[in-house]
Amino acid sequence: MAEAGIGSSRSRRKEKNRISGPFVPLLITTLNSPAWKALSHGAKVLYIALKRRAPNAHNRCYLSYRDAEDEIRANKRNIAQWFRELKYYGFIALAQPGCLGVEGRGKAPHWRLTEKGIAGVEHPTNDFQRWNGVPRPSL
């Protein structure tokens, strides 16, 4: 008579190595880049918040300052600085500017993550890999 646990070690290993639930992937090539190492901690957290909102099919994401304040727990001034920092180092590019929408409701700018592309339409530009090494001047 076979024990209940025999033969199931392989399935337990597969379950152990499986990532459950949604996650935000960070590419090692991005994390190893000099531009990533030059980013402030706040800009890195903002990038992760933006990447979380980038759907797989389309490489456009948006995050209003107000939503970023709530998620990151920082003030608008820092959020604005971190957006500028991400743009300077080449991690994001403006895809569509923000505007005042119909009935006076504002629309947040839409950003393109340069490490992602759109299958068959757009290749990743990885602008941060071409950073010239000049640190962003502090304002």
* pLDDT value of position 49: 94
* pLDDT value of position 3: 52
Convert the chain into a string of H (helix), E (strand) and C (coil). Answer: CCCCCCCCHHHHHHHHHCCCCCCCCCCHHHHCCHHHHHCCHHHHHHHHHHHHCCCCCCCCEECCHHHHHHHHCCCHHHHHHHHHHHHHHCCEEEEECCEECHHHCEECCEEEECCCCECCCECCCCHHHHCCCCCCCCC
* pLDDT value of position 35: 97
Q: Where residue 73 sits, what CATH number does that domain have?
A: 1.10.10.10
For residue 14, tell me if it sits in a domain: no
Predicted TM-score of the model (pTM):
0.80
For residue 75, tell me if it sits in a domain: yes
Containing structural domain, residue 69: 25-130
Domain count, the chain: 1
Q: Which ranges of the chain have pLDDT less than 50?
A: none
For residue 61, tell me if it sits in a domain: yes
Q: Which of 125, 98, 126 minimizes the C-alpha distance to 111?
A: 98
For residue 17, tell me if it sits in a domain: no
